[in-house]
C-alpha cells in the first residue's frame, strides 16, 4: 500500500487498495488477521487510486484515479458511487500523485507527477518535463470541470513530483515530500517543501529540508506533522527509515 491514514476523530485506519479497487476501513485497535469494518468496492464505486485522505468533520474520503478525483461518504460500505467527482480539462488533473484535505479551511490539495498527460512515470532522460510537476489547490467542495484556485509549478518551485502531503490548517500550509524522478536511486534536488494555500505560479518553498549529507535525506517519500513538539517526521525510501526534524518556524 502507498498510503495509510489514521482518523483520530473516529479511531479508524483507512487504506486504499488499488489492486482490489477498494477502500478498507479498520478499527484503530485492529490487530492480527482482523477484517475491515467497512469496504467500499464495486462497479458503482469505480477505480480507486493508491492514495487517499479522510475528512472526519464532513465524513468524506478523497481519492483519485487516472485524471479524476473522487469523493466518497466516510461511512459508506459496499458498492457505493462517489458523491462528487472532479474531472475535466480545466482542472489540470493529469497524473495525480498525492492528495490532502483540510476540512477546517475547506481546501483540497493535489500533487502532480511531472509527466502530466502521460500514464508513464518520468525518467531521468525526460528532462523537458522536469518543470511540469505541480501542486493544485481546490476548494474542498469543488465538483466537475472546475479550475484550481491555485497552481504551484515551475523551476523555482523545484517540483518534479509530489508524493505524500500533509496540511497544517492553523497556518494554512502545504507540507509535501518531493522525491524527484522515479527511476533515480538518489535523485538530485529531492526535498521536503512547505508552501502556502495562497501561493500561485512559480513559487519557491517557504521552508525547505533538502536531501543532502547533512540532513541524511535521500529520497523523501512520506511526511507526518507533530505540532505538539514542533517536528516534521519524514519517511525516506532510500534510507529505509524515518527521520525527525525540529522545525519550530513552521508551527
Q: Measured between alpha carbons, how far is 85 from 102 in angstroms, rounded to an integer?
A: 17
Q: Measured between alpha carbons, how far is 184 from 170 in angstroms, rounded to an integer?
A: 35
Report the side by side order of strands in the sheet with 52-55.
52-55, 60-65, 68-73, 84-86
Q: Using an 8 Å Cβ cutoff, are 30 and 19 in contact?
A: no
Nearest 5°: phi and psi at 229?
-105, 10
CA dist 130 → 91, 158, 191, 239 (Å) = 20, 9, 15, 24
Task: Say what the pLDDT of residue 185 is.
Answer: 83
Which candidate, 80, 71, 8, places its Cα nearest to that of 42? 80
Residue 207's Cβ-side half-sphere holds a number of Cα atoms within 13 Å equal to 15
**Grid cell 512515470 in the structure block, residue:** 121
Task: Say what the pLDDT of residue 182 is.
Answer: 77
**Grid cell 464532513 in the structure block, residue:** 58
The rounded average pLDDT for each run of 10 residues, N- to C-terminus, in the chain (251 residues) is: 91 95 97 96 94 97 92 98 95 89 98 62 48 88 97 92 94 95 84 97 96 95 95 93 95 95
C-alpha cell recorded at residue 85: 467527482
Task: Say what the pLDDT of residue 166 is.
Answer: 96
Task: Say what the pLDDT of residue 127 is.
Answer: 47
DSSP per-residue codes, 50-102: S-EEEETTTTEEEEEETTEEEEEETT--BS---SEEE-SGGGT--SEEEEEEE
Q: Measured between alpha carbons, how far is 156 from 204 in angstroms, rounded to an integer?
A: 5
Amino acid at each position: 500500500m502507498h498510503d495509510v491514514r489514521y482518523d483520530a476523530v473516529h479511531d479508524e485506519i483507512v487504506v486504499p487498495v488499488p489492486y482490489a479497487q477498494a477502500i478498507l476501513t479498520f478499527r484503530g485497535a485492529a490487530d492480527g488477521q482482523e477484517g475491515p469494518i467497512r469496504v467500499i468496492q464495486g462497479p458503482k464505486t469505480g477505480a480507486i487510486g493508491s492514495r487517499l485522505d479522510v475528512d472526519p468533520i464532513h465524513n468524506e474520503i478523497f481519492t483519485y484515479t487516472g485524471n479524476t478525483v473522487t469523493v466518497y461518504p466516510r461511512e459508506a460500505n459496499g458498492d457505493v458511487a462517489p458523491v462528487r467527482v472532479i474531472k475535466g480539462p480545466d482542472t489540470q488533473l493529469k497524473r495525480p500523485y498525492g492528495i490532502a484535505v483540510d476540512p477546517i479551511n475547506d481546501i483540497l490539495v493535489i500533487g502532480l507527477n511531472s509527466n502530466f498527460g502521460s500514464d508513464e512515470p518520468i525518467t531521468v532522460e525526460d528532462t523537458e518535463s522536469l518543470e511540469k510537476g505541480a501542486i493544485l489547490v481546490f476548494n474542498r467542495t469543488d465538483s466537475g470541470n472546475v479550475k484550481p484556485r491555485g497552481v504551484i509549478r515551475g523551476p523555482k518551485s523545484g517540483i518534479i513530483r509530489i508524493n505524500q502531503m500533509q496540511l497544517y490548517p492553523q497556518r494554512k500550509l502545504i507540507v509535501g515530500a518531493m522525491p524527484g524522478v522515479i527511476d533515480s536511486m538518489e535523485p538530485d534536488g529531492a526535498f521536503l517543501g512547505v508552501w502556502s494555500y495562497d501561493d500561485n505560479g512559480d513559487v519557491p518553498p517557504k521552508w525547505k529540508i533538502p536531501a543532502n549529507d547533512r540532513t541524511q535525506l535521500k529520497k523523501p517519500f512520506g511526511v507526518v506533522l507533530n505540532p505538539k513538539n514542533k517536528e516534521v517526521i519524514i519517511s525516506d525510501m532510500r534510507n529505509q527509515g524515518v527521520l525527525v526534524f525540529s522545525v519550530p518556524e513552521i508551527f
